[in-house]
Amino acid sequence: MTLIIAAAQSTSIAGKIESNVANHLRFGTIAAEHGAQLVVFPELSLTGYEPGIARSSAICPEALVLGSLRCLAQEAHIKKLI
């Protein structure tokens, strides 16, 4: 069985998690349209690459703000959006 992996290189805005999630959703949708089963994003891309705010911007995987990404993964049969 073949596993299709997509690596996304996106621009993030420091501390703007909702905007960054929307950006991830766009990349994830494109990856899904190409059959990706695993989509990889850069470390800290949800918080905006700012180590100083990473702790205060931390969110748990079950957070409501990530709901659209969870839905995309489920609907597109993506195993992981990491």
Please report the pLDDT score of residue 80 as a whole number: 66
Q: What is the pLDDT of residues 44-72, one digit of tens each?
A: 899 888 888 878 888 888 999 999 999 99
Q: What is the pLDDT of residues 20-50, one digit of tens each?
A: 999 999 999 999 999 999 999 998 899 888 8
**Which residues, in sequence order, are CB contacts of 40 under 8 Å at separation 6+?**
5, 6, 7, 8, 82
Q: Where are the domains of the chain?
A: 5-81
Degrees to nearest 5, angle at CA 22 with 17 and 24? 90
